[in-house]
Amino acid sequence: MSNRPPYVTLVHLGCARNLIDSEVLLGRMAEEGLVVTDDPGSAHTVVLNTCSFIGPAREESESAIRDLLAKKRQGAIERVVVAGCLVQRFRQDLAARFPEVDLFSEISDYRALAQGVRALTEGRAGVPRYLEGPATKPAEREGARLLSTPKSYAYLRISHGCDHQCAFCAIPSIRGKHRSKSRADVVSEAEELVSSGVRELVLVAEDSTAWGREHGEELPDLVEALAVVPGVLRVRVMYAYPNRFPWRLTEVMRAHPAAVHYLDIPIQHIATNVLRTMRRHGSGDQVRKILDRLRSDVPDIVLRTTVLLGFPGETDADAEELARFVEEYELGRLGTFTYSPEQGTSAWGLAGEVPAPVARERELRVQAARDRVLAKTQKARVGTEVDVLIDEVHERGKVLVGRPASDAPEVDLVAVVRGAQSAAVGDVVRARVEGLDGESNLVCRVVRKTV
């Protein structure tokens, strides 16, 4: 290994917000002159960016640490660096549990981490093993990022942290209180991304709908500003908390072609008693009224949501109400997860625990309802034409994989398009839907290239 240049690779775990941290970290390492590779097998040093949202994510992160340390003991890699949410949450306790890790870093702008990695690769003495981050990461421009997404889209973080106290969620203890980036900083980042060729901006935050309130602004003001950035094709909003919804957003969607008629609005449940135990704002009826108004204001809007099964006190009747709701409101774009007890949250030790097999069975029932909706609503699109933004090109341009405006990257469905003569990532093609594949993705044939 000593004859090879000191290559560094990054292993990313977790959500789109964490992916931005990974891209920032890649940018910082590049600024330090490190050679970054996407092949862990050729790297001297592996940097792991961890997730700690729920139990399975934490277990995945710790398993990845153990796997990397095993490779280090075998001589396949020389150094292991661990960063991100798991470190932020458990701090020095994590360092004590994994003494073979060469460097730990809490959440920060990662300049010190990149400098530490370089010092390690150069064999310098006295490199600190643990890097503390600021009490809360400032809400400012991200700085240079090495995008790991295709040029067709990029995630754009508009704020940090969350002020809600949902009983099941540890994010406020990891990411801190809500802090909005300034409108000028977000627009500047957007302009930079679009000038590099990005077509779709996917807005992410712990709570998107809280953006700007501490500055006397609202999310619609930001979306409106982003929708007129020269060259932007789509602006998509994810993680919109339903409480205090900024209703002018629907006006912006109707007024600006780039403001996608799509909204990710996690509701977590529909049974009022469960929502209240979760410490979510509002009732099941209020959730229904919000979705009804969204569809009234923007009739072709596509709604995505997330629900949590097996929260303490949930009954079979509550889960059945949720499954019926999913079908009634045709929520085919739906993420599900089961409750994971998280130390430090208000639900820790809560009475009424639901056994894991029961929670999983309830989750499967809700997923089955979702899949029925997807099959129905996607089948209704057969014979129609859709504009598809291309994310991947295969078979020398003859097979394209992309998304209509109805689908967000990574979490929703795709469209597989055949019959193209030539196309590139970031192009938009008009395609006729000819059928569905086994996962309800659209199978299409090109009509023409549009943008």
Sheet order of strands, 333-338 included: 153-157, 200-204, 234-237, 259-264, 302-309, 333-338
pLDDT at 135: 66
Residue 420 vs residue 105, higher pLDDT: 105
> In degrees, to the nearest 5, what angle opens at C-alpha 399 toward C-alphas 425 and 333?
75
How would you classify the pairing of strands 179-180 and 428-436?
A: unpaired
**pLDDT value at position 422?**
79
CATH number for 385-449: choose from 2.40.50.140, 2.40.160.100, 1.10.645.10, 3.40.50.300: 2.40.50.140
Q: Quick one: tokens of 444? A: 């299409």
pLDDT bucket at 14, cuts 50 / 70 / 90: confident
* pLDDT, position 451: 64
Domain 153-379 grouped into CATH 3.40.718.10:
no
> Can 7-131 and 153-379 be said to share one CATH topology?
no
Q: pLDDT tens digits, residue range 58-109? A: 899 999 999 999 999 999 889 999 998 899 888 889 999 999 999 999 888 8
Task: State residue 243's pLDDT score.
Answer: 84
C-alpha 62/C-alpha 75 separation (Å) is 20
Which residue shows structure tokens 């809560």?
A: 350
Alpha-carbon distance values, 235 to 154, 156, 223, 387 (Å):
10, 10, 7, 15
Q: Which of 85-94, 127-136, 151-160, 417-426 has the highest mean pLDDT?
A: 151-160
- Residue 189 pLDDT > 70, yes or no? yes
Confidence of residue 5 (pLDDT cuts 50, 70, 90): low
Residues 6+ apart with CB under 8 A from 138: 179
Closest Cα partner for 437 from 397, 391, 401, 390? 401
Q: Is pLDDT larger for residue 63 or for residue 134?
A: 63
Percent of the chain scoring above 70 in pLDDT: 98
Lowest-pLDDT choice from 86-90, 149-153, 234-238: 86-90
146: DSSP letter: -
pLDDT surpasses 70 at 4: no
% the chain with pLDDT above 90: 70
Which residue, among 115, 110, 241, has the nearest Cα to 169 in the 3D structure? Answer: 241
Q: What is the pLDDT of residues 321-380, one digit of tens each?
A: 999 999 999 999 999 999 988 888 888 888 899 999 999 999 999 999 999 999 999 999
Specify whether the CB–CB gap between 309 and 363 falls below 8 A: yes
Examine the pLDDT at 3 and tell me if it is beyond 70: no
Query: Where are the extended beta strands (E) located within 30-125?
Result: 35-36, 45-50, 79-84, 103-105
pLDDT (0 to 100) of residue 255:
97
pLDDT at 2 (0 to 100) = 46
Which two three-digit tokens encode residue 216? 């006397």
Query: What's the confidence (pLDDT) of residue 371?
Result: 97
Tokens of 259: 């403001």
- Reported as type and span, the H/E element at residue 290 is helix 284-297
Average of per-residue pLDDT across 377-401: 93
Edge-to-edge strands, sheet with 79-84: 35-36, 7-12, 45-50, 79-84, 103-105, 130-131
Q: Are 117 and 36 in contact (CB under 8 A)?
A: no
Q: Which amino acid is at 60?
A: E
Q: What is the pLDDT of residue 6?
A: 73
Average pLDDT over residues 170-199: 92
Beta-sheet pairing, 35-36 with 45-50: unpaired
pLDDT value at 47 more than 90: yes
The predicted structure's pLDDT at residue 446: 92
- Is 1's pLDDT higher than 50? no
262 pLDDT band, cuts 50/70/90, is very high
CATH homologous superfamily of domain 7-131? Answer: Methylthiotransferase, N-terminal domain (3.40.50.12160)
Q: Domain spans of the chain? A: 7-131, 153-379, 385-449
Indicate the pLDDT class of residue 254, thresholds 50, 70 and 90: very high
Neighbours of 298 (CB within 10 A): 19
- Give the whole-angstrom CA distance, residue 116 versus residue 137: 19
CA–chain centroid gap for 284, Å, is 25
Low-confidence winner among 104-118, 229-243, 354-368 (lowest mean pLDDT): 104-118
Q: CA-to-CA distance for 109 and 330, rounded, in angstroms?
A: 41
**Contacts with 132 (C-beta within 8 Å, 6 or more apart), sequence order:** 106
φ, ψ at 62 (rounded to 5°)? -70, -35
- Grade residue 16 by pLDDT with cuts at 50, 70 and 90: confident
Which amino acid is residue 287, in one-letter code?
V
Q: What is the mean pLDDT of the chain?
A: 92
On whether the CB atoms of residues 169 and 128 are closer than 8 A, the answer is no
Predicted pLDDT of residue 236: 98
What pLDDT was estimated at residue 136? 72
* Per-residue pLDDT, 405: 97
